[in-house]
């Protein structure tokens, strides 16, 4: 059985009776058992997945209405709540937490008869870029297990790339879907802010994070977006997309569209192979009839500093609830005052979470808020203004997803500033609320390179159309598992 098919091909094969959901899910679970000891994408596997697939096959045979996913196996980043399942955020602090409710995206996928094959690895509380900051050990890049898969949604990207599921859901705060998508050669999508409900996503930085799909093809991403987007009464930041069909018109092409090449994302520090691939992508877009011109976004050079200042502040607030009274470790309270008890419990946070919580307590504090936090908000405002001005002239923007190739495990883990700079090309979409997508485009020394496209707010349909057009120009090798 071919596990390498796309989501849309899977649905068609099940509809045609060529495969059963039970057989496909069983084969997928077998694939997880075969490759995950090496790759460590999964933190837990759904033992009932095959039985759930059997029930869907019964519905199909009896002529009952079946949801649009037809039992498709999907992996879920472990910061999304599935009722009755562990949701650990890859943290010891939540190692025994059982989610009491479903996230909105999970509810929507359940209605469509998706099957969740398991929860996948991530950087602890989504704070990191390599999945090395998981309390349960790093995931590894399926293209070369000595290299990082990106993060924080590394497990999601690995599971899609290694055929351990057909699609996955991750979360993107500063590139956490697009970064691993680029490093593992999958499609990764960060939607317009508010397009997908965050209800049931364990919070890191509410003002900029979004749930997004990772898939094998752009059409699969559009399909997933059709299922999980839209207004949610449980999330007041959601926007009305008028039940948009993101697959409709996806193949209309981009002739006559103007695309801005972001100058500041193509300069100092970019790997020559990444630069070459980006120039090739631009040339292919021009060959499709697009008009590509350079655009300058001066505030991009301040974006990483602003991003980490804002997200650390929000993280410090969000993680204040982890006081070991409602979540956490079971250890005796005798001999501890309240503050020392909480302090001891919080020592169980990993180094990256600890670093950001300390920073998040410092930068908005009295005497420092004006110097750091308010300045970061001003950068965010100015960057948004610059990007909005750019979209008055251009339909889309282009840049490499990540300016460097995947790097070896452990290479940057003790150099947080170097790690933070890996985000330089992705944080702009989050700070400005714009949709962005990473498309697999090229390889160098056997390691994937992704290209990023951005669009204006609520122009997700145009963005997917452009990404699909670019995707059709590329023929890439299979992952060497």
Active site residues: 77, 152, 176
Q: Cα Rg for the chain, rounded, in angstroms?
A: 21
- The residue count for the chain: 481
**DSSP string over 55-98:** HHHHHHHTT----TTTT-EEEEETTB--TTSB--TT-GGGTT-B
Q: What are phi and psi of 114, to 5 degrees?
A: -80, 155
Hey, what's the torsion of the CAs at 245, 247, 252, 257, to 10 degrees? 70
Neighbour-count burial of 125, counting CB atoms closer than 10 A to its CB (0-12 exposed, 13-18 middle, 19+ buried):
buried
Single out the residue of 376, 443, 393 nearest to residue 262, CA to CA.
393
Q: In Å, what is the CA distance from 302 to each residue of 242, 264, 271, 274, 423?
A: 35, 11, 20, 22, 12
Structure tokens at 116: 């969740």
Question: Tokens 């209405």 identify what position?
Answer: 65
Residue 214 φ/ψ region, left for φ over 0, alpha for ψ in the -120 to 50 degree band, beta for the rest: beta
CA distance linking residue 261 with residue 236, whole number of Å: 34
DSSP letter (8 states) at residue 157: H
Asked whether the bond before 202 is cis by omega within 30 degrees of 0, the reply is no
Structure tokens at 131: 């999945």
Whether the CB-CB separation of 145 and 39 falls below 8 Å is answered with: yes
Q: Cβ atoms within 10 A of the Cβ of 1, count?
A: 15
CA distance linking residue 340 with residue 194, whole number of Å: 39
Whether the CB-CB separation of 22 and 61 falls below 8 Å is answered with: no
Residue 452 φ/ψ region, left for φ over 0, alpha for ψ in the -120 to 50 degree band, beta for the rest: beta
């Amino acid at each position: 059985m071919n596990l390498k098919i796309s989501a849309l091909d899977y649905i068609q094969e099940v509809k045609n009776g060529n495969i059963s959901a039970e057989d496909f899910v069983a084969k997928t679970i077998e694939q997880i058992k075969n490759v995950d000891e090496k790759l460590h994408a999964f933190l837990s596997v759904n033992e009932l997945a095959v039985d759930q697939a059997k029930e869907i096959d019964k519905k199909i045979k009896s002529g009952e209405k079946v949801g649009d996913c037809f039992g498709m196996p999907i992996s879920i980043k472990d910061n999304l709540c599935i009722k009755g399942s562990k949701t650990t955020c890859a943290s010891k602090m939540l190692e025994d937490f059982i989610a009491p409710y479903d996230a909105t995206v999970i509810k929507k996928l359940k209605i469509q008869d998706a099957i969740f094959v398991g929860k996948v690895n991530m950087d602890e509380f989504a704070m990191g870029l390599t999945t090395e900051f998981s309390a349960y050990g790093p995931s590894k890049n399926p293209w070369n297990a000595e290299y990082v898969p990106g993060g924080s949604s590394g497990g999601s990207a690995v599971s899609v790339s290694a055929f351990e599921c057909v699609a996955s859901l991750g979360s993107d705060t500063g590139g956490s879907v697009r970064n691993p998508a680029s490093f593992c050669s999958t499609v990764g999508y960060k939607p317009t802010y508010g397009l997908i409900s965050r209800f049931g996503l364990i919070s890191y930085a509410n003002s900029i994070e979004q749930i997004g799909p990772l898939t094998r093809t752009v059409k699969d991403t559009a399909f997933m977006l059709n299922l999980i987007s839209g207004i949610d009464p449980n999330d007041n930041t959601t926007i009305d997309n008028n039940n948009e069909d993101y697959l409709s018109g996806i193949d209309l092409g981009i002739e006559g569209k103007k695309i801005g090449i972001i100058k500041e994302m193509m300069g100092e520090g970019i790997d020559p192979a990444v630069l070459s691939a980006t120039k090739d992508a631009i040339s292919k877009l021009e060959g499709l009839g697009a008009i590509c011109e350079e655009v300058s976004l001066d505030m991009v050079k301040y974006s990483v500093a602003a991003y980490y200042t804002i997200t650390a502040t929000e993280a410090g607030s969000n993680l204040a609830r982890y006081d070991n009274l409602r979540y956490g470790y079971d250890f005796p309270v005798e001999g501890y005052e309240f503050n020392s008890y909480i302090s001891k419990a919080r020592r169980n946070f990993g180094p990256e979470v600890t670093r950001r919580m300390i920073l998040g307590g410092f930068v908005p504090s009295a005497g420092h808020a004006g110097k750091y936090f308010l300045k970061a908000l001003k950068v965010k405002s100015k960057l948004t203004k610059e990007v909005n001005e750019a979209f008055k002239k251009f339909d889309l923007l282009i840049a490499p997803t990540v300016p460097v190739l995947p790097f070896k495990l452990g290479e940057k883990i003790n150099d947080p500033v170097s790690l933070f700079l890996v985000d330089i090309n992705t944080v702009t979409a989050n700070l400005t609320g714009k949709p962005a997508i990473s498309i697999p485009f090229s390889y160098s020394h056997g390691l994937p390179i992704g290209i990023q496209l951005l669009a204006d707010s609520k122009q997700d349909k145009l963005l997917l159309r452009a990404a699909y057009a670019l995707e059709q120009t590329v023929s890439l090798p299979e992952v060497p598992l």
